């Protein structure tokens, strides 16, 4: 099995990863719509291979406050996955879910816990579709949630990518209900898992 180098990835691999991202985000959107029981549309996800310097810009600024849900994955595919949502969008989603709007700027314990559940369901749906397409097992860990600056949250997956190369693969999805909710998925498989995913889909190395 050949080794994948993210810095010199061919268009073919990139297209496959884009398609995986597309399907994963589609499933996640469906799960989200069922959870808050309203129709949610989704834009075609943008898959970007970004240099570390460009990460902040791509998310609308390093200092934008976001909610990040992060979990480790094990099984045939190892690594981690992160889902990010702007704080405003996160508050909106949680208000929908709990059927009430909160007054405060900050997220209460209750809202944080609801948000963690939202993240759990979204990443779960994403990973499920990835697992069933590739026929590979994926076991997610308990998710962890933090609300902080985009740059600081993204430093965690960026550092994992940094051990492998100089760019990071990010999938941006826009959800719409009454408002636009920008969501970002970052899937961080280790190098072996990239090869496994691609060969499971019949792409030869």
**Per CB under 8 A, does 61 bind other proteins?**
yes
Site membership for other proteins, residue 9 (CB under 8 A): no
Smallest distance, other proteins to C-beta of residue 26, A: 27
HSE, CB side, 13 Å, CA atoms: give it for residue 49: 15
Residues from 65 through 84 that contact other proteins (CB under 8 A): 65, 68, 70-72, 74, 80
Query: Per CB under 8 A, which region of 24-32, 94-102, 124-132, 164-172 contacts other proteins?
Result: 164-172
Q: Of the two residues 177 and 190, which places its CB atom closer to other proteins in the complex?
A: 190
Q: Which is nearer to other proteins, 40 or 55 (CB)?
A: 55
Phi/psi of residue 147, each to 5°? -115, 115
Residue placing its CB nearer to other proteins in the complex, 19 or 190: 190
Cβ closer to other proteins: 36 or 158? 158
Nearer to other proteins, 24 or 119 (CB): 119
If you ran DSSP here, which 8-state letter would residue 44 be given? P
- b/e 159-196 (16+ beta carbons within 10 angstroms → b): ebbeebbebbbbbbbbbebeeebbbbbbbbbbbebbbb
CB of 159 to other proteins, least distance (A): 5
The whole-angstrom separation of Cα 78 and Cα 70 is 14
With CB under 8 A as the rule, give the number of residues binding other proteins. 39
**Residues 94-113: x where in contact with other proteins by CB under 8 A, - otherwise, as a string:** ------------x-------
User: What distance in Å separates the CA atoms of residue 205 and residue 89, rounded to the nearest whole number?
Assistant: 40
- Collect contacts of 29-35 with beta carbons under 8 A, ≥24 apart: 29/173, 29/175, 30/125, 31/121, 31/122, 31/124, 31/125, 32/93, 32/118, 32/121, 32/122, 32/125, 32/175, 35/97, 35/118, 35/121
Least gap, CB of 28 to other proteins (angstroms): 20
Decide whether 70 or 126 has the Cβ nearer to other proteins.
70
- Of 6, 19, 4, 8, nearest to 201 (Cα)? 19
Task: Please give the residue ranges that form the binding site for other proteins (CB under 8 A).
Answer: 7, 52-56, 61-63, 65, 68, 70-72, 74, 80, 106, 141-142, 144, 146-156, 158-160, 162-166
């Amino acid at each position: 099995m050949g080794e994948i180098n993210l810095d010199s990835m061919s268009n073919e691999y990139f297209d496959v990863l884009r398609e995986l991202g597309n399907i994963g985000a589609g499933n996640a959107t469906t799960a989200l719509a069922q959870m808050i029981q309203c129709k949610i549309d989704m834009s075609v996800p943008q898959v970007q291979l970004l240099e570390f310097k460009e990460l902040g810009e791509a998310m609308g600024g390093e200092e934008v406050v976001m909610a990040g849900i992060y979990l480790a994955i094990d099984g045939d595919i190892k690594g981690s996955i992160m889902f990010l949502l702007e704080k405003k969008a996160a508050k909106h989603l949680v208000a929908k879910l709990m059927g009430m709007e909160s007054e405060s700027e900050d997220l209460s314990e209750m809202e944080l816990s609801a948000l963690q559940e939202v993240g759990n369901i979204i990443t779960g749906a994403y990973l499920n579709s990835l697992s069933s397409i590739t026929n590979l097992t994926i076991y997610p860990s308990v998710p962890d949630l933090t609300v902080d600056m985009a740059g600081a949250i993204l430093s965690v997956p960026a550092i994992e990518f940094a051990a492998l190369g100089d760019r990071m693969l990010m999938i941006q999805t826009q959800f719409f209900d009454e408002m636009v909710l920008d969501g970002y998925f970052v899937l961080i498989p280790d190098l072996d898992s990239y090869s496994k995913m691609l060969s499971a889909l019949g792409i030869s190395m």
